[in-house]
Amino acid sequence: MTIKSDPHKCSQLISTISEYVEGTLSPQLCADLEKHLCDCENCTIVVDTLRKTIDLVQTCTEDDCLPNDVRKRLYQRLNLDDYIFNP
């Protein structure tokens, strides 16, 4: 399925969607877009899945850790061996 309903309004939403999901869009534009979202199922899906995309990336990266061997070699390279376990 592709966005085809009222393409002008849909395009307007797409150009401001980033600021909308961050909550930094101006109140007037925000109200306009929320009105449009009430009538446009496609744009509602785009907004929801954009939010979900950002959430997913953050969830996938929050478990990242610095491998112990990488950390050890870093401290050795910086001549900080004596701080490896107790900075």
Partner 1 sequence: MTEPEKLPISVDALKRGDRTEFARLVDEYSLHIYRLALRMLGNPQDAEDVLQDTFLNALRALPKFEGRSSLSTWLYRIAVNEALIVIRKRKPQVSLTAENEDGDEGENGDEMQIVDWGHLPESDLLSNEAKQHVNQAIQQLPETLRVVFLLRDVEGLSIEETATTLNISQAAVKTRLLRARLRLREDLSNYYHERIQAK
Distance between CA 48 and CA 56 in Å, rounded? 12
Residue 11 lies near partner 1 (rule: CB under 8 A): yes
Quick one: tokens of 59?
């969830």
Residues 41-60 that bind partner 1 (CB under 8 A): 42, 45-46, 48-54, 56-60
Give the one residue of 15, 27, 28, 68 binding partner 1; rule: CB under 8 A. Answer: 15
Distance of CA 77 to the CA centre of its chain: 35
Distance between CA 11 and CA 9 in Å, rounded? 5
With a CB cutoff of 8 Å and minimum separation 6, the contacts of 72 are 84
Q: Please, what is the minimum distance in Å from the beta carbon of residue 26 to partner 1?
A: 14
The site for partner 1 (CB under 8 A) is made up of: 1-3, 7, 10-11, 13-15, 17-19, 42, 45-46, 48-54, 56-61, 64-67, 70-71, 73-75, 77-78, 80, 83, 87
